[in-house]
Amino acid sequence: MGAAVFRAIRNFNLENRAEREISKMKPSPAPRHPSTKSLLREQMIHHPEIKGEVARKDAKLLSLLKDVYVDSKDPVSSVQVKDAGTRQEPKEFRLVKGQDFNMMSSKNIPKGKISIVEALTLLNNHKLYPETWTAEKIAEEYCLEQKDVKSLLKYFLTFEVKIISPEDKKAIPSK
């Protein structure tokens, strides 16, 4: 709907606007400086053949111009040279950890990175079994650097949901 309205507004009175634009005066040459204007007029009065000379094509110069052959090659840009020098190594990928492989959501994960599901799994495993799931074992299992795993375990925690029984709810004072 909006496109049709816009088109109607754009095409309104199109022929008259086009005719007005075509009938406008063509642009005139840039004005000359007053001091040179009088000198040019004076030269044209004394030497009227100059006007013809300016408009005439010189056959000798045209023949010389036809003999000119230009062959050039673009220089190699520095960006292309840099790209060739700093070629990236192919990334190594690993399989996604876990039992429930959903083929639609699983991707190739580069070594040194983990998915959100894997991060939550390893944080939960470390929380439940810290003696089994140490930083060294997690780093080896998920192909991560040990310092990154230590930071992950230090600064990130998973949520713990506690379901309170109705008897315990009565013991909690309400505000």
pLDDT digits (tens, 9 = 90+) for 63-87: 998 888 888 887 776 666 555 556 5
How would you classify the pairing of strands 93-94 and 109-110?
antiparallel
Query: What's the confidence (pLDDT) of residue 102?
Result: 55
Name the more confident of 138 and 37.
Answer: 138
Q: In degrees to the nearest 10, what's the CA dihedral of 169, 171, 174, 175? A: -140
pTM of the shown model:
0.39
Structural domain contains residue 92 = no
Number of domains in the chain: 1
Beta-bridged to residue 93, according to DSSP, are 110
The share of the chain scoring above pLDDT 70, in percent, equals: 78
Structural domain contains residue 138 = yes
Examine the pLDDT at 105 and tell me if it is beyond 60: no
Structural domain contains residue 109 = yes
What is the average per-residue pLDDT within 91-109? 60
What are the respective helix, strand and coil percentages of the chain, to the nearest 5?
55, 0, 45
Contact 125, 156 (CB under 8 A): no
Query: What's the confidence (pLDDT) of residue 110?
Result: 82
| Domain extent at residue 137 | 105-155
Query: What's the confidence (pLDDT) of residue 97?
Result: 65
Structural domain contains residue 174 = no
Structural domain contains residue 169 = no
Structural domain contains residue 170 = no
Cα distance between the two ends of the chain: 57
Structural domain contains residue 148 = yes
pLDDT tens, residue by residue, 133-164: 999 999 999 889 999 999 999 998 877 777 77
Structural domain contains residue 151 = yes
Rg, Å, the chain Cα set: 41
